[in-house]
Amino acid sequence: MNSQVKFNLSILGIFLFSLGIRFWNLSQFNTLVFDEVYYAKYGNEYLIGKDFFQSHPPLSQYLIAISIWIGSHFPADPETINNLTGSLRSTFSYRWLNALTGSFIPLIIGGIAYQLTQRKTVFLITTFLASLDGLFLVESRYALNNIYLILFGLSGQLFFFISTPEKFKPQLAIIIGSLFRFSGKYQMEWLRIFTGNIYFYRYCLVNKII
C-alpha cells in the first residue's frame, strides 16, 4: 500500500469518526437546547410560511428549514417528537444537517493547515484534533447557526489560500468560490461583514496582494 493510499484512508477514517460522534444519539434530549428555541423555530416557520420578525439574515434558518423538510421524511421514534417548533417535528429532523455539515469542518481546517505548511502530517494531525474540538462538536449536534458561519468562513479562507499559491496572481475561479463562501457567511450575521472584511483586507496587505 503506497503512501497516498494510506493518506486517503486516513482522511476517510477521520471523516467517518467525525461523522460518527456527531450523529451518535443525535435525537437525545427531546427539547429545544440553547438557541434552538430561536433557530429551529424560525426554520420551521419559514417552512410553513408563517410571518415573523427576524433580526439576522435568514440563510442559516433556510438551511434548517431544508433540514426539517427532508428530515420529516425519515422514520422517527415517537419519544423524539415534539411540537416546540410550532409543528410536530422529531429532534433529528432539525439537527441532522448541522451534524453532517459539522463533520466536514475538520477537513476544511486541515486543508487550511496544509495550505500553510504543505505537509500531509500536519493536515492529518490538525484534522484529527479539530474533529475532537468540543465547541465544534456541540454546535454540530444542535440546530444552531454558528456551524454554518464557521463552515462558510473557513471555506472562504481555504479557497483564498488555494487561489494564491506562493503569492502569485490569484486564480479567478477559486477567488470567486472564496467570495461566494464569504458572502454565505454574511447572510447569517450582519457583524460578520465588518469583521470578515477586516481580516481579509489585513491578509491582502501583509501578503502584498493589493
List pLDDT tens digits, range 117-168.
888 898 999 999 988 888 888 888 988 888 888 888 788 778 777 776 554 4
Q: Which pLDDT tens digit goes with each residue over 24-34?
A: 988 888 888 88
- When pLDDT is averaged across residues 96-106 and rounded to a whole number, the result is 91
Task: Report DSSP letters for 161-197, one per residue.
Answer: HHHSGGG-PPPHHHHHHHHHHHHHHHTT-THHHHHHH
Burial of 108 (0-12, 13-18, 19+ CB in 10 A): buried
Specify the pLDDT at position 205: 57
CB 22 within 8 A of CB 103: yes
Beta carbons within 8 Å of 181's beta carbon, 6+ residues apart: 152, 153, 155, 156, 159
Task: Tell me the HSE value of 108 on the side-chain side, using a 13 A CA sphere.
Answer: 21
> Across residues 17-42, what is the average pLDDT?
87
- pLDDT (tens digit per residue) in 51-73: 777 777 778 888 889 999 998 88
Interatomic CA distance for residues 92 and 58, integer angstroms: 21
